[in-house]
Amino acid sequence: MTRHSARASRALRALNEADPAIAALSLWCDHRDADGPVAETAGSLIRYGPAFDTLPLHEQIGLAAHHVLHVALRHGARMQAMGDRLGERFDAELFTVAADAIVNEALLQAGHALPRPALTLTGVLAAATIPHAGAVQALADWDAERLFMKLLEGGRGDGSGAGRALTHARTRAFAPDLRPDDPGPATPAPEAGEDARWRQHLARAMEAGRQAGRGVGLLGHRLADLPVPATPWEVVLRGLLARALTESPQPSHRRPARAWIAAEAEARQAGGPVPAFQPGLRRQTERPRVVIGMDASGSIDDTRLALFMAEVTGIARRAQAELHLIQFDAAVQTQVRLDPHGWQAQLAGLPLARGGGTDFGPAVAAALALAPSAIVVLTDLDGPFGPAPRGVPVIWAVPAAHDPPAPPFGRVLSLLR
């Protein structure tokens, strides 16, 4: 495990001619021989098993390129981040299906050979009955997180998108080959800004491939799965709510300002005119209040709801805020005040409506009646918005698989990354 892979050397040398972009990216990866599966990725470390030697050269090249793209697209780190976010609800096998399908589709479009039968993005979309307009457009539309969350819609049963995708993957000789970002002894731990560095590597490598006129460099600008340096949505939401819940001192005429007291005493002692009265400041005594509006249409499943509620409840607990949940479609269906310590039990006993139209106007009006410090709406933004509230920040938390339309007011926050 401390020496460069001897098994992959021939394939990696051949990549220089077959695909200059992936050849350049492979220089930033650690290649090691190991006992285990034919090949697997963990962080920036690629392990090649004994079965790798038995493949013909063109398949070795394609398989090595497959794992180099896993590393370059930061799939291991993104898998770890999604697992941390979803906890027990995370399905590592399904995330690997999404990542493998995208990587294989890109390689096949770039002219590489893969051990057959190969799992592809178009095959997964067809199995899950997700409409698509061909391989190239699918690569431009889907990244691993979006595809993973889309497949999770409706649960994990055999008839769900996730169930059909997993069944299809197993018929294509799929075996999990992606591990969470676990560097191991030969690779340093990931540093802050690693996504940005890999994006720079990818930009330079794709340009080299484009100029050479072959390989994945010809597809680089169409790939939606490129690692994007971004602040996680939880951190953004935390900052937005912190600003909304920050108490600002208010003027109070019940007591004077300290500066006025000093100026008034000095004026009396000097026999001069008394300055105009200046009110003091008092802190707000009312407890800040956060209202969460939950779209009751079928696009919001229990996984997304639990993920979102856990984060917002934690923020409200730290901020000592009062938390209310409004479930709505075209009208308000339920309204409940949540206990910061027992919200899971409250949600478990709450009847969650599904289906029907969507109108944000009644829900926002009901939220305003509670005099909130902030309104957070979990929705796919498909419906009329109504008038904008005055003086209250609105955060639209969107777990949709595609970019939603921009609302006329408020801040949109994507929950996918």
Give the C-alpha distances (Å, rounded to integers) separating 231 from 97, 166, 182, 416: 25, 31, 21, 11
Kindly state whether residue 123 falls inside one of the protein's structural domains. yes
171 and 262 both lie in a single domain: no
DSSP-assigned beta bridge partners for residue 289: 322
Q: Read out DSSP for 362-401? A: HHHHHHHTT--SEEEEES---S---SPPSS--EEEEE--S
Q: Is residue 241 part of a domain?
A: no
Residue 49 counted as domain residue: yes
Residue 336 lies in a domain: yes
Identify whether residues 80 and 156 lie together within a single domain.
Answer: yes
Entry field: residues in the chain: 417
**43 and 137 part of one domain:** yes
Q: Give 3-36 as a DSSP string.
A: S--STTHHHHHHHHHH-HHHHHHHTTSEEEE-SS
Say if residue 164 is in the same domain as residue 142. yes
Residues in the chain predicted with pLDDT less than 70, given as ranges, are: 1-2, 154-157, 181-193, 220, 227-238, 240-241, 243-250, 282-287, 298-320, 343-344, 347-348, 351-356, 400-404, 415-417
pTM: 0.69
**Residues 305, 384: one domain?**
yes
User: In angstroms, rounded to a whole number, what is the distance separating the alpha carbons of residues 332 and 77?
Assistant: 40
CA–CA dist 134, 122 (Å, integer): 7
Does residue 239 belong to any structural domain of this protein?
A: no
Same domain, 202 and 327: no
What does each C-alpha distance from 196 to 74, 141, 226 come to in angstroms? 10, 21, 10
Please give the C-alpha separations between residue 89 and each of 18, 94, 302, 331, in angstroms, as whole numbers: 40, 11, 10, 30
pLDDT tens readout for residues 165-202: 999 999 998 888 888 755 444 444 445 467 778 888 88
Q: DSSP label at 52?
A: G
> Distances from the Cα of 217 to the Cαs of 9, 36, 51, 170, in angstroms?
22, 31, 29, 30
Are 354 and 210 found together in one domain? no
Q: In whole angstroms, how far apart are CA 405 and each of 184, 240, 305, 345, 397?
A: 43, 21, 21, 34, 13
pLDDT score, position 215: 87
Show the domain range for 311: 289-414
Residue 353 confidence (pLDDT) = 61
Domain count, the chain: 3
**Any bridge partners for residue 323, and if so which?**
290, 338
| CATH number of the domain bearing residue 341 | 3.40.50.410
Q: How many CB atoms lie within 10 A of CB 115?
A: 16
Query: According to the model, what pLDDT value does residue 417 have?
Result: 58
| Same domain? 172 vs 209 | yes
